[in-house]
Amino acid sequence: MSFLRFIAIAVLAIIVVRLVRRLVAGGAPPRRDPRIDARTPGGEDLVRDPACGVHVPRGRAIPARLGGESLFFCSEGCREAYARGKRAEG
């Protein structure tokens, strides 16, 4: 009987700890990974570099217009490599 009492107390303690954490956090839902909604903590949109796949804040990305497309790159090197690859393809 004491083992069942121990299990019941442990479960109750876990529930109480979770409730206290939620109350301390103001009932806010847990934080999401910023990559999920493609925004930085400051709210700036992230753009994906088509050459290497890195996500970069739009304000820090290097914009380019290639083949009628507006693209954003993480570095000049990636922009140049992508442009060379496009020329070789077409």
DSSP code at position 49: -
Separation of first and last alpha carbons in the chain: 78
**pLDDT at residue 82 tops 50:** yes
pLDDT tens column, 33-69: 544 555 556 677 889 999 999 989 888 999 998 878 8
Our measurement of the distance from residue 85's CA atom to the centroid of its chain's CA atoms, rounded to an integer in Å, reads 28
pLDDT at residue 14, as a whole number = 93
pLDDT tens column, 21-36: 888 877 666 565 544 5
pLDDT at residue 37, as a whole number = 53
- Please state the domain extents for the chain: 1-30, 32-90
